[in-house]
Amino acid sequence: MSVATTEPGRLERDRDFNFNWAAAGPFLALLVLLAIGFVINPDFLSATNLSNVITRSAFIAIIAVGATFVISSGGLDLSVGSMAAFITGITIMCMNMMVPNVGLWSIPAGMAIAVLAGIACGLVNGVIVTVGKIEPFIATLGTMGIFRALITYMSDGGTIPIDRTLREAYRPVYFGTVAGIPLPILISLAVAALGAFILYKTKYGRQCAAAGANEDVARYSGISIIRTRTIAYVIQGACVAIAAICYVPRLGAATPTTGVLWELQVITAVVIGGTALRGGKGRIWGTVAGAVILELIANLMVLSDFVSEYLVAAVQGVIIIIAMLIQRFSK
């Protein structure tokens, strides 16, 4: 038994010694982008700008860590953006409701509710996909509409603002720093580290990849596909909740337009990071790099002067494709 568990570990260490170009791809793309950015506008590398941009990418990075599990297990989740908005709404409403009784304690209590709501939402997605045997694309397209409608209903189409008394106390979760590093960056690093540990070092992580690589083979080896994929969706839900917890203090409100199209950014980050969209292989740290790359591109568009405001989206598309090509040829 002990031999069996040390064996893969040793193999991975061997892989680390032989420089792994495929895994390094997203980081190379990131470096190239930073260099180009510096040439275009030296302000790009200023500490304030970089810390702003990386902090901003934290939501997508945290959600994308969860998506790495879902995608590598052979699933897909289109509902994450709507789910983030829905959980944000629930969190704010619960916090506001608890303020008169428990004061500032409603912040941690609200966070706990957010995580529970996230796990519940993920479980719903997971069960529909696995037990209900509905294509992940369709199942999560359905829940995407449901979550979006719920947040619209809860807010009457307007805004759900957080209670004024909580606003200042909660602010540091997005705007605060520890040792000079913004808190959302630290949170996303912690989530990624935990995700990497689960995906690379635990039995569940290997089952996840096996279920995504070849469902039949995995099933014959005694892996429960239903259990493995459902857990992946639950992890996704928990990640969305953590992102929502970091998101609330930024603008202090949930609206029906919160998190619109985040699902596409999340999937793009995962794929830029080197995870195969058809499943079987997940790269957590690549995913985080992918999320930062996406946000850097948007930032670069504003800081450079030679792209017309009408063409920004086209140039972003070209850069994403080039980033993928750099990866492909660095293999």
Partner 1 sequence: MTKMKWAVTAATLGALLLAGNAIAADKKVVAVSIPAADHGWTSGIVYHAQAAAKEINAAFPNVEVVVKTSPSAAAQVSALEDLSAGRKLDALVILPHTSEELTMPVKAVKEGGTFITVVDRGLNDPAIQDLYLAGDNIAVGKNTAKFLVDKLGGKGNLVVLRGIPTVIDDERIQGFKDGIAGSDLKILDIQYANWNSDDAFKLMQDYLAKYPQIDAVWANDDDMLLGVLEAIKQSSRTEIKYALGGNGMKEIIKKVIDGDAMTPVETPYPPSMIKTAIYMTVANLIGQAPIRGVVKLDAPLITKDNAAEYYFPDSPF
Cα–Cα–Cα angle for 303, 64, 96, nearest 5°?
90
Closest to partner 1 by CB, 142 vs 161, is 161
Cα–Cα distance, 314 to 317 (Å, whole number): 5
- Cβ atoms of 245 and 251 within 8 Å: the answer is no
Rounded to a whole number of angstroms, the minimum distance from the CB of residue 67 to partner 1 is 19
Classify residue 46 by burial, with Cβ atoms within 10 Å: 0-12, 13-18, 19+.
exposed
The amino acid occupying position 23 is A
Using CB under 8 A, pick the residue from 14, 17, 309, 329 that binds partner 1: 309
Contact region for partner 1 (CB under 8 A) — 88-96, 152-160, 193-201, 219-227? 152-160
Using CB under 8 A, pick the residue from 245, 299, 319, 323 that binds partner 1: 299
* Binders in 170-199 for partner 1, by CB under 8 A: 175
Cα–Cα–Cα angle for 147, 277, 319, nearest 5°?
95
Look-up: residue for tokens 């997971």? 126
Rounded to a whole number of angstroms, the minimum distance from the CB of residue 145 to partner 1 is 10
Residue 154 touches partner 1, criterion: CB under 8 A:
no
Beta bridge partners of 71: none
Closest to partner 1 by CB, 224 vs 304, is 304
SS3 category, 128: helix
Rounded to a whole number of angstroms, the minimum distance from the CB of residue 244 to partner 1 is 13
Q: Give the chain's largest Cα–Cα span.
A: 61
Cα–Cα distance, 115 to 113 (Å, whole number): 5
Using CB under 8 A, pick the residue from 35, 264, 302, 325 that binds partner 1: 302
Rounded to a whole number of angstroms, the minimum distance from the CB of residue 12 to partner 1 is 37
Closest to partner 1 by CB, 82 vs 230, is 82
Closest to partner 1 by CB, 205 vs 259, is 259
Using CB under 8 A, pick the residue from 201, 227, 250, 281 that binds partner 1: 250
* The token pair that represents 148 in the structure block: 């979006």
Cα–Cα distance, 204 to 210 (Å, whole number): 10
**What track of x and - describes contact with partner 1 for positions 9 through 48 (by CB under 8 A)?**
--------------------------------x-x--x-x
Closest to partner 1 by CB, 54 vs 231, is 54
* Binders in 42-101 for partner 1, by CB under 8 A: 43, 46, 48-49, 52, 56
Strands (DSSP E) contained in the chain are 160-161, 177-178, 181-182, 253-254
Cα of first residue to Cα of last residue in the chain, in angstroms, is: 34
Residue 306 touches partner 1, criterion: CB under 8 A:
no
Cα–Cα distance, 135 to 141 (Å, whole number): 10
Integer-rounded Cα radius of gyration of the chain: 20
Residue 316 touches partner 1, criterion: CB under 8 A:
no
Using CB under 8 A, pick the residue from 5, 20, 202, 257 that binds partner 1: 257
Judged by the rule CB under 8 A, the positions of this chain that interact with partner 1 are 41, 43, 46, 48-49, 52, 56, 152, 155-159, 161, 175, 250-253, 255-258, 260, 298-299, 302-303, 309-310, 312
